[in-house]
Amino acid sequence: MIIDTHCHLDDERYYDDLSEVITRAKEVGVERFIIPGADPKTLKRAVELSETYEEVYFSVGVHPYDAQSYDKAFLEPFMTHPKCIAVGECGLDYFRLPESKAEIVIEKELQKKVFVEQILWAKALKLPLIVHVRESSADCLDLLNEHAGEQGGVLHCYNADESLLKLADKNFYYGIGGVLTFKNAKKLINVYPKIPSDRLIIETDAPYLTPHPHRGKRNEPAYCDLVASKMVELSFIEKDALISMTTENAKRLFSHIS
Quote the pLDDT of residue 98. Answer: 83
Q: What is the pLDDT along the chain (258 residues), one digit of tens a residue?
A: 999 999 999 999 999 999 999 999 999 999 999 999 988 899 999 999 999 999 999 999 999 999 998 999 999 999 999 999 999 999 999 998 888 899 999 999 999 999 999 999 999 999 999 999 999 999 999 999 999 989 899 999 999 999 999 999 999 999 999 999 999 999 999 999 999 999 999 999 999 999 999 999 999 999 999 999 999 999 989 999 999 999 999 999 999 998
Q: Is 203 left (phi over 0), alpha (psi -120 to 50) or beta?
A: beta
Report the C-alpha gap between 221 and 6 in whole angstroms. Answer: 9
Quote the pLDDT of residue 242. Answer: 98
Quote the pLDDT of residue 60. Answer: 97
**What domains sit in the chain, N to C, each tagged with a CATH number?**
2-253 (3.20.20.140)
Going along 116-188, which residue ranges are E strands?
Answer: 129-134, 153-156, 172-176
Detail the residues annotated as belonging to a binding site for a divalent metal cation. 6, 8, 89, 132, 156, 205
Report how far apart the first and last C-alpha atoms of the chain are (Å, whole number): 12
Quote the pLDDT of residue 39. Answer: 84
Strand partners, 129: 87, 153
The string of DSSP letters for 79-136 reads GGSTTEEEEEEEEEE-SS--SSHHHHHHHHHHHHHHHHHHHHHHHHHT--EEEEEES-
Detail the residues annotated as belonging to a binding site. 6, 8, 89, 132, 156, 205
Which amino acid is located at 196 in the chain? P
Which amino acid is located at 18 in the chain? L
- Which sign, positive or negative, has the C-alpha torsion 58, 111, 125, 199? positive
Quote the pLDDT of residue 40. Answer: 87
